[in-house]
Structure 1
Amino acid sequence: MARQHPEEPTLVELTIEEVKAMGKQGIDHPSTRPVITGGVVGAIAGAVLPVVTWPVGLFAGAAIALYTRVKR
């Protein structure tokens, strides 16, 4: 009889768990500061670039930072 391996969590599931943990632990969570920093950098880039607005830059920067934290 073949052994069944539990499915590995998907990237979406990992991201949701990371966001939940960040919400519970706040600034003490290891991913919170890099995600905030990514959002700030994105917002500044969005404010400087004429094509992107600062809210889009904020979201994109935070999303990229979160993705790099979850992907590790």
Structure 2
Amino acid sequence: MPNEPSDTQRPTPPRHVSMQRQGPILVDGPVEVELEDGTTVSSDRFRVALCTCRRSRRYPWCDTSHRRRA
């Protein structure tokens, strides 16, 4: 049938993303992240934590800096 996808046209399954209250965004990897300045960083880990508080020294990757209170 013409409307059925072939083996080479199968859609990529959606990425799983978990939101954490006062914590990082967890994304099933591998991932590429485009930063504000247009540069791209990537990780091939099975799950990555993206920093949402901008306290991380490894931004955009979370280093749990959000746990410390200043």
After TM superposition, the score normalised by the length of structure 1 is: 0.24
More strand per residue: 1 or 2? 2
More helix per residue: 1 or 2? 1
Which structure exhibits the higher relative contact order, with contacts defined as CA atoms closer than 8 Å and separated by 6 or more residues? 1
